[in-house]
Structure 1
Amino acid sequence: MTYISSSSMTSPLRSSILNAQSALTQAQTEVSTGTYADIGLQLGGGTGHLLSLRSNVDALNTYTQTNAVASTRLSATDTALTAMLSTAQTLSATLTSAQSSGSSLTGLAQAGQGALEGLIGGLNTSAGGQFVFAGTATQTTPIADYTATSSAKSAVETAFQAYLTANGVTASTISGSQMQSFLSNQFASLFSSGGWQSSWSSASSQTMTTSITPSQTASTSVSANQGAFQTMAQAYTMLTEFTGDGMSADAKAAVVATAGKLVSTGIAGLTEVQAGVGVTQTAISQANTQIGAQTTLLSSSATNLDSVDTYALSSQVTQLQTQLEASYSLTSRLQQLSLVNYLTAG
């Protein structure tokens, strides 16, 4: 006895259609992404090498991102230092003129105050939500404002009054030599490391260290506790406090001479600090170039492993679509068959 069934004819066709649909879906995915849909199946043991390449690329990209943050910090630092140097150079010229020509010292207190405010403002520069001169204490304002109620101003006034009392003089009668002695000793101690961090600075002396490549680190911040800033603050503060109308002429002359030397020293120090920032910026730029070359090489190697031939796949997609359309048509025709049609056809 012979059994006649359309199901026996359509079942293999349905299986073929399912396989073709699966192959078409995979091919379309690979055409759109440009990579293999199943890396493990395609590469086998080479999959580990591909994953290693991608991991290395991700790690290098992390260095690039970290370097970008460091570059922003250093750029803000450099800008602030440039402004500090400009102010110092202008004031240095004013002090030199005052000493050489014997011109009036009127206005030096205001000039000193303006320079001091600019220095404090510069040292309190922030970028990306971080204080760039705070060392590792990036969330802490490095330098307190110099105001009537600040501990720094109080320390200066207390030290000066104690010196005047101990020597039996007043601000209007203190001699040039006495003023020089005070500036070189009691006053200078207020700007030493201990005095500076006690009354002026909340910055950390430890600077930020950044890994700019897998094998290279760099100091990517500046601390307000560096000597150049203490020197400038010392010069500006003595001009602010001790060149007013109440001081003796000899005392003012001593202040101007001392401040002039300090400003010159401070300029050299600021220049050195800025040069260090420039060296680090160059190192980061070179590191980024190196990282870019490595990333390109590794990415290219990874692409060579997991990339597909989109042209060939596009042809395959077309063939599979044509095959499926033919299969759908044949399936439809088979489903329309009946026993009567079969017997009639026979």
Structure 2
Amino acid sequence: MRTSFVSTLALWNSSKTSLDKMQTGLVKANKELVTGRDADVGLKLGYKTGQTLSLRQDRAEIDALIDSNASILLRMKSSTTALDQVRTNGDKFMDALIATPLNSSSLTTVMYQARVNLQSMVSSMNSNVGGQYIFGGINSQEKPLNDYSGGTPTLRAAVSIPVSGLSAGDVIRFGVGGTPEQVFTVTGETTVDALVTSINAAVAATTLSGVEASRDPVTGNLVLKSIDLMGKTDVTGSFTDVDGAGIPVEGSVTRSPQAAVASAFRSTFGFGVGDAAVSTITPGDMKTFLDGSFAALFEGSNWQDWSNASSQNIQSKISATEKVEASTNANGQGIQKMAMAYTMISELGLDRLGETTREALVSKALETFSEATTGVKTMQSKLGAVQEKVEEADERMSLQKDILDAKVIHLEAVDPAEAKIRVDRLMTQIQTSYSLTAQLRTMSLINYL
């Protein structure tokens, strides 16, 4: 019989090699036990790996849409809450206006409350969520509504308009004392002096009216000065340069809403809101003013004195196949009417008007409040309809997530009981290996000599 020689070093190394394999297996088994997923999906599935990757990508897209919808719902719920406050305040004020006898002791209180409610409405419209103004439409980085009381500056007798690079097609727009905007289109004028000559000639020919043109000797700007002898001297103007790429570049003069109201009032009646002559305004004249130049301040381009919001709302994708208008803006008719009604009560000399004229004003204000609350309700109902769509999309996507999860589990999952058995077996083997290694280390020929 032949015996072979086995060294102690070989015995030590053999246990070390098997121990490394068992530790690697233990890490893999532990990972599968914790995650419930095969430690090496690619090795297990082979050519089916692309299928599980595709399913996980679809799952990730749904998660992203659900997270986005959470932000959309927060914005919409905040918008609904703000609109509800605006509508509730309007209803309460309208009820108080109906119930309160308007006499010398109550007028001051009513006017004050109208100013407070107007400021509260502006504050509500300037609400922001996550650093974005929720009533700004797509212009969510700028406050939607300007403060009403930006001051009532002295009426401007002239406006200085920056004009440069004149070419055919450029446009000068201006208004005097709240009158309708007038337009002058550049044809062959190439300098400000030539422009001055042409505008003054148009005024002389009555094509344009109300101003005298000149060139500012310091700035070189075009200056349009009112020639109205009735004191209606508030002048605004802008220049649109359509040269080059055809994208208008405007230099314009803006006013606070309060200044715009004061200008329209003075232009219509020939005196200011604080003048004693306010008591002479007749109901007919007041009605004409309210339905005409005053109402015009709250619509069209004049609303820009109030609003910086875009009328285009944010479009958001709420599912793989659906896109909705997920916001509203401060240019809604309900907001315009609400601002108009509060301004009627607070800024048109309610405490100075004659009794019959005051009644006509209050009657118009109540009518406007009614239209305003209806408009705000319409805005809320549109938000509510979209909110319902978003919630329904979330429910559908939650079901889709469950289906995708089931498919992924079918491909990748491991039996947790089997994984636990492997972990326990490997732990036992490793402990045994450590014990044997310790015994081998104590083996020495010296102990047997």
Q: If the length of structure 2 is used for normalisation, what is the TM-score?
A: 0.69
- SS of aligned partner of 2:270: helix
Q: 1:52 aligns with which of 51, 54, 77?
A: 54
Q: Which amino acid aligns with 1:203?
A: A
Q: Which amino acid aligns with 1:60?
A: I
- 1:176-233: CA deviations, max 9, x gaps? 1011111111111111121111x10011111111111111112111110111111111
Structure 1 Cα separation of the partners of residues 290 and 331 of structure 2: 20
Gaps of 5+ in 2: 153-255
Structure 2 equivalent of residue 260 of structure 1: 366
Q: Which amino acid aligns with 1:255?
A: L
- 1:62-92: CA deviations, max 9, x gaps? 1111111111111111111111111221222
Deviation at 1:175, TM superposition (A): 0.8
Q: CA RMSD in A?
A: 2.6
2:282 equivalent to 1:280: no
- SS of aligned partner of 2:316: strand
2:263 equivalent to 1:158: yes
The structure in which a higher percent of residues are strand is 2
- SS of aligned partner of 1:171: helix
Deviation at 1:9, TM superposition (A): 5.8
Structure 2 Cα separation of the partners of residues 45 and 235 of structure 1: 70
Structure 1 Cα separation of the partners of residues 351 and 22 of structure 2: 98
- 1:304-333: CA deviations, max 9, x gaps? 322221211221222233334444455555
Structure 1 Cα separation of the partners of residues 38 and 317 of structure 2: 35
Superposed, which structure 2 residues align to 1:77-226 within 5 Å?
77-97=79-99, 104=103, 106=107, 107-147=109-149, 149=151, 151-165=256-270, 170-197=277-304, 199-226=305-332
The structure, 1 or 2, with the larger RCO (C-alpha pairs under 8 Å, 6+ apart) is 1
In the comparison of the two structures, how many residue pairs are matched?
337
Superposed, which structure 2 residues align to 1:287-306 within 5 Å?
287-306=393-412
Q: Which amino acid aligns with 1:158?
A: S
Structure 2 Cα separation of the partners of residues 97 and 10 of structure 1: 101
Q: Which amino acid aligns with 2:139?
A: A
Q: Is the contact made by 1:231 and 1:265 (CA closer than 8 Å) also made in structure 2? A: yes
- 1:132-176: CA deviations, max 9, x gaps? 11111212111111115161111111111111129xx93121111
Percentage identity across aligned positions? 31
The structure in which a higher percent of residues are helix is 1
Deviation at 1:294, TM superposition (A): 1.1
Q: Which amino acid aligns with 2:39?
A: A
Structure 1 Cα separation of the partners of residues 338 and 70 of structure 2: 31
Q: Which amino acid aligns with 2:284?
A: S
Gaps of 5+ in 1: none
Q: If the length of structure 1 is used for normalisation, what is the TM-score?
A: 0.88
